[in-house]
C-alpha cells in the first residue's frame, strides 16, 4: 500500500484518537497514514464543527478520502459524508439513532481514554437529531461492519437502514467494542486499494 490517499478514523463516545481501537487500526493499516483526531463526541454541534474543520484542512490535498467511523464516529461520519467530498464511508457498530440510544446512559460519564469526567445531558442527546439523515440512498459508497453481539446497539438498526444500499458485513458474537479489528483492517485495506 502507498500513502497517496487519506484515511480518517473517527472514534466514538468516551474514546479518543489515541484509543486502543484507533491504535490497532492505525497499526494494521501501516504504512498508510491514518488521521485519528480527538474531538468532543459528546457535544454534537462542537463535534461537527471540529470535524468539519478537519475536512476543510484536508480538501486542499485533493486526494480521495476514506472515512472510518466507530459508534458515534459512524453517526458523525454519515452526516459529514453528505457535506464534504468522500470516496468511501466505513462504519463500525455505528450509533445511527443516538437520541434513542443515549438517554439510558445520560448523566455522569467517564472517558477513560482521556481520563476525563463530564455530564452527558438530555439536551446534548436531543441535539444529535439535527445531524440525522432522512435517507441514505444518495450514492455515497458505504460499508458497515456490525457485531451481532453488540450489547449497546442493536445491529439490525444499521442493517435495515442500509439494506440494499451499502455493503453490510455481519460478524457473529462480538461486542460494541468490536472484536474483529483484524478483519476490519483487511476490508478497509481492500477498499483503499480499489480507490488508488
22 contacts 41 by C-beta, under 8 angstroms: no
Extract the C-alpha cell encoding 166: 451499502
Predicted confidence (pLDDT) at residue 134 exceeds the cutoff of 90? no
Q: What CA–CA distances, in Å, run from 72 to 51, 68, 127, 147, 192?
A: 13, 11, 13, 15, 22
Q: How many other β-carbons are positioned within 10 Å of the β-carbon of residue 145? A: 27
* The predicted structure's pLDDT at residue 191: 94
Q: What is the pTM of this model?
A: 0.93
Predicted confidence (pLDDT) at residue 171 exceeds the cutoff of 70? yes
Extract the C-alpha cell encoding 151: 450489547
Find where cell 450489547 sits.
Answer: 151
- Tell the burial category of 178 from Cβ atoms under 10 Å away from its Cβ (0-12, 13-18, 19+): buried
Q: By C-alpha distance, which of 183, 42, 181, 47 is closest to 116?
A: 42
Mean pLDDT of 124-152: 93
Q: How many other β-carbons are positioned within 10 Å of the β-carbon of residue 176? A: 18
* The predicted structure's pLDDT at residue 195: 85
Predicted confidence (pLDDT) at residue 32 exceeds the cutoff of 90? no
Go through the domains of the chain in sequence order and give each one's CATH number.
Answer: 6-195 (3.40.50.1820)
Amino acid at each position: 500500500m502507498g500513502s497517496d490517499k487519506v484515511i480518517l478514523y473517527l472514534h466514538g463516545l468516551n474514546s479518543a484518537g489515541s484509543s486502543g481501537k484507533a491504535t490497532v487500526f492505525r497499526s494494521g493499516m501501516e504504512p498508510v497514514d491514518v488521521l485519528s483526531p480527538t474531538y468532543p463526541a459528546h457535544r454534537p454541534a462542537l463535534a461537527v464543527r471540529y470535524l468539519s474543520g478537519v475536512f476543510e484542512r484536508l480538501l486542499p490535498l485533493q486526494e480521495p478520502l476514506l472515512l472510518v467511523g466507530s459508534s458515534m464516529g459512524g453517526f458523525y461520519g454519515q452526516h459529514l459524508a453528505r457535506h464534504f467530498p468522500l470516496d468511501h464511508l466505513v462504519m463500525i457498530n455505528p450509533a445511527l439513532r443516538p437520541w434513542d440510544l443515549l438517554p439510558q446512559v445520560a448523566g455522569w460519564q467517564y472517558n477513560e481514554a482521556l481520563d476525563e469526567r463530564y455530564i452527558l445531558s438530555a439536551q446534548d442527546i436531543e441535539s444529535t437529531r439535527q445531524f440525522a439523515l432522512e435517507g441514505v440512498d444518495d450514492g455515497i459508497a458505504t460499508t458497515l461492519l456490525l457485531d451481532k453481539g453488540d450489547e449497546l446497539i442493536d445491529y439490525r438498526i444499521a442493517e435495515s437502514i442500509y439494506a440494499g444500499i451499502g455493503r453490510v458485513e455481519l460478524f457473529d458474537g462480538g461486542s460494541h467494542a468490536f472484536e474483529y479489528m483484524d478483519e476490519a483492517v483487511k476490508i478497509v485495506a481492500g477498499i483503499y486499494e480499489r480507490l488508488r
